[in-house]
Amino acid sequence: MDRITLTGLRARGFHGALPEERVLGQTFVVDVVLGVDTRAAAADDELSRTVDYGVLAEEVTAVVAGEPCRLLETLAQRVADRCLSHRLVREVRVTVHKPQAPIAVPFDDVAITIERTTTSSSDRSPA
């Protein structure tokens, strides 16, 4: 399986368990690693035979900027579902970073990483 990686996608979202997080919002950072067979695209040198990472980047940031949720786990699942809705994506690893999490001690980052495959996703609508 080949890998397409997008690192450091940023979007403002209103996710969190605390009421002030859902009012004030904060920047979330997302990394995605897609499992895709890119041989056909490489052979034909044809964008339509792979995943357009520019389009995917816009979709991922739209998920982050979209409907609020309480948990990073939920946000990561929504991003994974969006990625897996592309018919050529067979698996995805999603990391959602919350660098401004409301933690009372010094820290660099809070993140969750999930891995999903086409058989573990709840949403496989074609894209």
Is the whole model's pTM more than 0.85, yes or no?
Answer: yes
Task: Report the pLDDT value the prediction gives residue 119, as an integer from 0 to 100.
Answer: 78
Residue 51 is classified by DSSP as -
Residue 61 is classified by DSSP as H
Annotated catalytic sites, by residue? 98
Tell me the domains of the chain and their CATH numbers. Answer: 2-117 (3.30.1130.10)
Reported as a single tens digit per residue, the pLDDT across 40-52 is: 999 999 999 999 9
Reported as a single tens digit per residue, the pLDDT across 55-98 is: 999 999 999 999 999 999 999 999 999 999 999 999 999 999 99
Find residue 112's DSSP bridge partners.
96
Task: Report the pLDDT value the prediction gives residue 95, as an integer from 0 to 100.
Answer: 98
pLDDT at 123 exceeding the cut of 80: no
Task: Report the pLDDT value the prediction gives residue 120, as an integer from 0 to 100.
Answer: 53
